[in-house]
Amino acid sequence: MANTAFEQVWIIRQLLWLLWDLLFFLKIFSRKVVLERETEISQQVVGYISSVMNTQFVKNNQP
């Protein structure tokens, strides 16, 4: 059974909305991944700086 032109347009419209939703999800997901990675790197940098500062503090306060 052949679809009418109206049915075909409706199907295409639904597929386009689905594609739009998928792209939106991927955009949000990729931002989340980037943010998690940036947070991880920031924590590593803060840890390194804290370690260096603690080392310098210990060196400066030795008798």
Q: What is the pLDDT of residues 29-51, one digit of tens each?
A: 999 999 999 999 999 999 999 98
Tell me what pLDDT residue 44 has.
Answer: 94
Give the whole-angstrom CA distance, residue 10 versus residue 5. 9
Classify 62 as helix, strand or coil. coil
Cα dihedral value 57, 59, 62, 63, nearest 10:
-130
Which pLDDT band, with edges at 50, 70 and 90, does 59 fall under?
confident
pTM for this entry:
0.57
Give the whole-angstrom CA distance, residue 4 versus residue 27. 35
